[in-house]
């Protein structure tokens, strides 16, 4: 399968790549086949090859919001990463490859006296994944600054969507509604004139607040659950006495209850902890927690 995919697409394919190295949780089994295309055209060829060979495709970004089960992922895993991470400025607009990190994007804008993305500097994800889920922090959301998204559909067709067509909402965009999901390759942001010194000071202050409140020194997927309407997930979890609660090597952080962290466990530990925390909160408060973390793959045998 690998040789055929590679021959048809012209993209380098690797076998049995451990996906634990591709996620911020440092968990997950192997991908049968793994590729990182370096352009939209290479991505389209790869998708066409997989379709012709009836190989299932899973697309990931930088893996900051991802739990891969211990059995790994069958078929082809395509990562939109470093080879598609270019950044360009033209006036008040910045166009970013989907594989760029949000931190890189925020720093790039700040260095050019462009404001509006300071909040994103500490979000541990990629531009593509962040736009799909409309990532945000400290009162800002990516969707507020996105004016154009380019990508490739699962059938290999190129597309462009405007801000209005993306229909951004809380941790949501129209990109999440399509099945199969389209793949973002490039995003254009329209920013505001600013002062590099002031923007970088704001970024430093937000970094200080993050370090003070969040368990940044252990593997996690960031905030594990979405904010329920009228509530805060961390407060509900804390209210239920779950700080420090563990399943195997997965733990509810004692520093911030909204963060579930990996302390040498398995993906099965982490998934079970997610489910148990959500069940306990529902039973004790009547509030249903919805995961922000995307769960993929198969359980180990």
Q: Could you confirm whether 292 is annotated as catalytic?
A: yes
CA nearest neighbour of 274 among 20, 25, 29: 25
- Region for residue 167 given its phi and psi (left: phi exceeds 0; alpha: psi -120 to 50; beta: otherwise): left
Q: Could you confirm whether 69 is annotated as catalytic?
A: no
Q: Could you confirm whether 79 is annotated as catalytic?
A: no
Distance CA 164, CA 132 (A): 14
CA distances for 254 relative to 46, 210, 213, 230, 245, angstroms: 44, 15, 10, 23, 9
Distance CA 84, CA 134 (A): 20
Q: Burial of 214 by CB count in 10 Å (0-12 exposed, 13-18 middle, 19+ buried)? A: middle
Residue pair 278/288 in contact by the 8 Å Cβ criterion: yes
* Active-site pick, 79, 171, 186, 227: 171
Distance CA 214, CA 200 (A): 20
* Active-site pick, 64, 101, 173, 223: 223
* Active-site pick, 36, 141, 271, 292: 292
Query: Which residues participate in catalysis according to the annotation?
Result: 171, 223, 292
């Amino acid at each position: 399968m690998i040789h055929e995919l590679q021959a048809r697409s012209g993209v380098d394919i690797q076998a049995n790549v451990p996906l634990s190295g591709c996620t911020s949780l440092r968990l997950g089994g192997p991908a049968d086949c793994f590729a990182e295309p370096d352009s939209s055209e290479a991505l389209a060829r790869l998708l066409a090859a997989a379709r012709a060979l009836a190989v299932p495709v899973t697309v990931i970004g930088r893996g900051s919001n991802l739990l891969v089960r211990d059995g790994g992922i069958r078929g082809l895993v395509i990562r939109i990463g470093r080879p598609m991470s270019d950044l360009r400025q033209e006036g008040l607009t910045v166009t970013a490859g989907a594989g760029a990190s949000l931190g890189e994007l925020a720093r790039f804008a700040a260095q050019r006296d462009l404001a509006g993305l300071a909040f994103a500097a500490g979000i541990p994800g990629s531009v593509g994944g962040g736009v799909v889920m409309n990532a945000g922090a400290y009162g800002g959301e990516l969707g507020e600054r996105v004016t154009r998204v380019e990508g490739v559909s699962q059938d290999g067709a190129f597309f462009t969507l405007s801000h209005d067509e993306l229909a951004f909402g809380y941790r949501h965009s129209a990109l999440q509604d399509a099945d199969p999901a389209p793949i973002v390759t490039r995003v254009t942001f329209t920013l505001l004139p600013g002062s590099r010194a002031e923007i970088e000071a704001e970024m430093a202050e937000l970094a200080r607040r993050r370090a003070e409140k969040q368990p940044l020194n252990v593997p996690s997927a960031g905030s594990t659950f979405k904010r329920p309407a009228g509530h805060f997930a961390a407060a509900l979890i804390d209210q239920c006495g779950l700080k420090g609660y563990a399943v195997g090597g997965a733990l509810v952080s004692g520093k911030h209850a909204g963060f579930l962290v990996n302390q040498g466990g398995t993906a099965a530990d982490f998934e079970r902890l997610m489910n148990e925390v959500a069940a306990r909160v529902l039973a004790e408060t009547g509030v249903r927690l919805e995961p922000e973390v995307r769960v993929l793959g198969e359980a180990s045998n």
